[in-house]
Every structure is written in structure tokens, then in C-alpha cells.
Amino acid sequence: MIKLLENIDSRLIVVGGASSLYLDESHEKRLLDVIPTDLPYYPTLLEMAKASLIYEASKLNVTFFSPAEFFDPEGAQTNNYTITGDVLEHNKAGKSRISYADYAEAVLNMIEDGSHQHEHIGIYEN
């Protein structure tokens, strides 16, 4: 499928998973690497991490946008968030969370301003 999209002059925005984010700037370990493999949702985490590598290696204009560790479906929109690179970040309270509402706002802003093309990025609530 990726080969079919490579000749299209468009941008693909993928909602990734936090499991694909690295734990520090050395890029030696991802969140996936420290998560117990016996968790029932581990296969999903593994596939999202694999997908990030596939898109990164492609020629597509992809923004792989990973939410924070806790992707809160019920959280309010705060407009108080930080977009990061491909390293998992935490706020001053040590939490890595983002509401669906803030994530959606960030995606819309990114589309409108054309930022973060050809990048793997993350987001967290300040």
C-alpha cells in the first residue's frame, strides 16, 4: 500500500501510539521496550511501533503523531499542550497525558499551518 501512495503529492497524518516514542535522545529504547509483553494490548502496541518504523523508512510525506502515554477520551480541551519530537515527554507533575480534544486541536492546527511534515512527533499536556 505504501508503494501506491509514494507517487501521490499529499501528506499522510497517522495517529500513532506512545509505544513508538523513544525514552530519551539516544534512541536506544522505546516505550514499547519497557512494557510487559503479557499485557492483553501488547500486540497493538507492537504493531503501532512497527508502523512508525515503516513510515519513517518510506518516501511518503508522513507525520506520525503519537499521543502521550495516557490518551484521555474524557479529558477537557485545555489548549495547554506541547508538541515534541519522537521522545516521550512528561509534564512537571511527571505525567504523560493528553485529552482527545487537545490532540484533535493539535492535528487541526498542524494541518492548517503545514508544520511537522516528514516527522514523528508526540504531544503531552503541560
Distance, C-alpha 95 to centroid of its chain: 16
Instruction: Tell which residue, 52, 111, 104, 49, has the closest CA to residue 81.
Output: 104
Q: Find out whether 66 and 124 touch, Cβ atoms under 8 Å.
A: no
- Residue 45 — φ and ψ, nearest 5°? -60, -40
Query: Shortest CA distance to 124 belongs to which of 84, 93, 78, 87?
Result: 84
pLDDT tens digit at each of 126 positions of the chain: 666 667 777 889 999 999 999 999 999 999 999 999 999 999 999 999 999 999 999 888 999 999 999 999 999 999 999 999 999 999 999 999 999 999 999 999 999 999 999 999 999 999
